[in-house]
Amino acid sequence: MNDFQIPSSIIPLNDNERIQKLHTYDILDSPPEDAFDKIAILAAQIFNSPIAQVTFVDRGRVFFKSNISPLSATEIERKDSFCSIAILNNDVTLFENTLNVPELLSNPFVSMENGIRFYAGAPLRTIEGLQLGTVCVLDTEPKQVTQQQLKMLETLSSIVMDELELRLSTRKALRTQTDMMNRIVHDLKNPNTTIALSAELIKRKAEDPKIVADFADRIKNAANGMLTNLNNILELSQVESGGFRLNLQEVDVFQLLNAVKKNFELLAKQKKQNIKIICNCPTTIWADIVRLQDAFTNLLSNALKYANAGTEVIINVNAVNNDLIIEFKDQGQGLSDKDMGKLFTKFAKLSAVPTAREHSNGLGLSIVKMLIELHNGKVWAESEGKDKGASFYISLPIN
């Protein structure tokens, strides 16, 4: 046996957290799989043992994902499993002869005829240090093993965890794609309805130029909204897939901000808002002008969208050390503590709502974050609380 001492309780202090993490992998009660069986078979060959298992320790039982043994069981009670002991140990738990371990003599799998005499189990440890189960080998005969064999068992346990993490990442990616597709469909239905109804009304009121112009504007706005949504989704997909490259050139940030401001002047006028740019420093940096304009557009659009009519949005530009700091400051609805924890995540729903029923797909801030980080910059927000306005900052390296 190794130096590990069996504690009086086999329930670790973090058991609730450990079990919650185990359940996120959706591995319990799943059928046997070749990938896990091969790992168990390899463990049995390394130790020349008749029994090898990949196990997961649940609240009251131990589930066998793989069970290479004469018995066909898929689980046993937690209190009777050696793996329940092994997850308490950071290293491989080794019992070379269970009859020499007083705490194990009452175990039914030790006291039975031709009972278990040898056990070695390497814990399945998550990146957070939570131990979910083991890759283990057992024998009905006592056995002495080498350190190399134990190291190989640890390697097999890490392979199991790599497989679990890969599956978890794949499921998350699929869920994200499904969520995105659902949102795309939802976001495109409303403007399509607007376009269809407006076109029908134009046909009926073709003799009235004012009505035609009004509904033509509605069609244009709906089409532009759909195009913006599709461009955002395409941009996000390109960044996440790694197929996105910056086209760096000298960019005058002050001129670019003025161009973005000009694009929003009509919208700001409709809400009686004012956009003001304050800059007292050189603003030339190396950047991708198109992507930087996308980031500025998203932040200015949000500032106007969530600010009340008749307020002012100020864009402050300052040089601090070797960084250019651009602040988009509004007098809008502000951010709660809960909002601050969700900023810059995809599809985040914040407490603020557009003040003129404008549309938001929840992607803008996440795109800003990715675009700025591609420039080796940073993005963050500050707010004194609800109804006290907010400032969104971009920091970009000058050199």
- CATH code of residue 371: 3.30.565.10
**355 lies in some domain:** yes
At 173 the pLDDT is 67
**67 lies in some domain:** yes
At 247 the pLDDT is 81
* Calpha distance 306→173 (Å, rounded): 30
Local structure of 7: helix, strand or coil: coil
At 167 the pLDDT is 87
**275 lies in some domain:** yes
**108 lies in some domain:** yes
CB 120 within 8 A of CB 97: no
At 234 the pLDDT is 62
At 371 the pLDDT is 86
Domain end, chosen from 126, 146, 170, is at 170
At 339 the pLDDT is 80
Residues of the chain with pLDDT under 70: 1-4, 173-201, 203-208, 211, 215, 217-244, 346-363
At 180 the pLDDT is 58
At 145 the pLDDT is 95
C-alpha gyration radius of the chain: 31
User: Which pTM does this prediction carry?
Assistant: 0.52
Q: 28 and 166 in one domain?
A: yes
At 174 the pLDDT is 67
At 170 the pLDDT is 79
Domain end, chosen from 111, 140, 170, is at 170
At 1 the pLDDT is 46
CB 136 within 8 A of CB 119: yes
Domain end, chosen from 170, 194, 211, is at 170
CB 118 within 8 A of CB 97: yes
**212 lies in some domain:** no
**90 lies in some domain:** yes
Q: Strands 312-320 and 274-279: what pairing?
A: parallel
Q: Read off the pLDDT of residues 180-237 as tens digits, 9 standing for 90 and up.
A: 566 566 556 556 666 666 666 676 666 667 767 776 766 666 666 666 666 666 665 6
Using a 10 angstrom Cβ sphere, with 0-12 exposed, 13-18 middle and 19 or more buried, the burial of residue 198 is buried
159: containing domain:
15-170
Q: 151 and 257 in one domain?
A: no
Q: 280 and 149 in one domain?
A: no
**291 lies in some domain:** yes
Q: 270 and 395 in one domain?
A: yes
Is the Cα torsion angle 21, 26, 32, 34 positive or negative in sign? Answer: negative
Q: 160: domain CATH number? A: 3.30.450.40
Q: Strands 51-57 and 61-68: what pairing?
A: antiparallel
Number of domains, the chain: 2
